[in-house]
Amino acid sequence: MKSRPPTLARLPRRKPDFIEPMDCAPVTKLADGPGWLYEIKLDGYRAVAVKSDGCVSLLSRGRKSFDHHYALIVEALAELPEGTVVDGEIVALDESGRPNFNLLQNFRSEASRIQYFIFDLLICNDRDLTRLPLDERRKLMKSLLKLRSPRLRIAEQFEASANDIGDLERAVSYIVVVDRGQQDFVRIRRMPLDEIGRRYADSFYQRRLHEISPTQPQRIGALQNQHASRGSIRSSGYIREHYKLLLEDIDSLAQAKLEGLIKAYEKSGMPFNEAAFYDVKQQIVDFCQSEQHKLIGSMNKTVGQFLGGVSFEPFAKEIVAGIDAIIGRLVCDLEMRRDEAILEDRRTKKAYAAGLGKQWDAFICHASEDKKDFVDEFARRLHDSGLAVWYDAFSLKLGDSLRRKIDEGLANSRYGIVVLSKHFFAKEWPQNELDGLMSREIAGTKVILPIWHKLTAEQVRQHSPILAGRVAARSEHGLEKVIAEVREAMGL
């Protein structure tokens, strides 16, 4: 029998005040098991809302006030019960309903698109909920927060296996994995580079950071002395030169980060394809937007110090435009690198295939019943890893002769990847394809690369003693490992 969450009256009292939000820990593999829940990672500003003595404060992770920027959200949060603290994310949604970080910068003109997603209830009615397991806090949050404003939403969570959540991860780029019993957050990032590759990439950024950081105070000091000697230290001209100097440093660091990531792909021998492009692009955009947030915060203080009551908004817009220009230029450079890599890969493959008389790297032999739970995704990821793959879903077009196209694929592929399963051995057609691959191995050239899908060694031995004696990849080990083993077997 499931336990009910405790009533608020039994919880210890606590004054409603800012509680520092917990950071995400980046990892490369989805946590799995009954103790984990999944959330979509929203692209916005993390914010803690506090309602005390009838007043609402909306505070950033660094405890800076968002009250002026997002006044409509603050107004909507008046619905919260007295003595309440919630943790959430300020998010701007575009016309398709997707989070758009850049819209947040235009907090006046885009105010109607901005919403606050609540994902945790920390204090309610002056009672401390932080010692409760997360799933109990979620139950209390849904029962106690009666949200009427369309600007306020409770972030949804998903209870599923890591395999089931895989398609969602690919669709939204980020997943937050939450320990239901504690308050541990794990951000999942699709990162093809391994730990050594990431460390190598980061070394470029760290080297540039060590070059820039020691000189930045001196450069700012020299700029201040220059304007002080001219009597213009309390002018908008000084403010603009100050943040332009800092924008140049951000630009230099972002370029170093981009260069390091591209070099890491080159050194690791991994293809710089669409998956790699989007991975690097997201890291560059994340870095620039994070630096933008910090720069706006620091320059807001500088404007208050040197210009008194002058509005900071025009300067903030110029900083956002400067960061957008940096992102735009770096992404354009990245697109050129990607296209160069794709064109070079095509040229190399054509020359290599011409030398072998082969058009494809691999032909995938399988039973159609195994498509949904393994082969479709395996073929897609194998293709994304940079290989030319003959797979019926990719290669057959309306009106093609099935038999002729399969024969063409078998004859013009370097290797045949055979997905062995109960369905495979129960059908004649895939076994005919296997016979065709076997005939090519009579000459002594390795052609067949087997994958066991939901089969034991004994089951394979019963159907094909010859295949049972071969080293095979196993689908149960996960797609990443299977693809790595296939590429290794191909000498890649």
Cα gap 401→385, rounded to integer Å:
29
Element (H, E) at 221: helix 216-230
> Which of 39, 433, 480, 488 is flagged as catalytic?
433
Place of tokens 């220009």: 325
Tokens 């039994």 map to which residue?
A: 10
Spatial separation of the C-alpha atoms in residues 364 and 133, rounded to whole Å: 47
SS3 17: coil
Three-class secondary structure of residue 488 per DSSP: helix
Helix count and strand count (H, E) for the chain: 17, 15
In degrees and rounded to multiples of 5, residue 37 shows phi and psi of: -120, 160
Contact status, residue 95 vs residue 115, Cβ threshold 8 Å? no
DSSP 8-state assignment for residue 369: G
* CA distances from residue 135 to 4, 142, 179 in whole angstroms, order as listed: 11, 11, 9
Residue 344 bears catalytic tag: no
**DSSP for 45-99?**
EEEEEEEETTEEEEEETTS-B-TTTTHHHHHHGGGSPSSEEEEEEEEEB-TTS-B
Q: What is the rounded CA–CA span in Å between residue 473 and residue 481?
A: 8
The CA distance from 79 to 76, in Å, is: 6
Residues belonging to the active site: 433
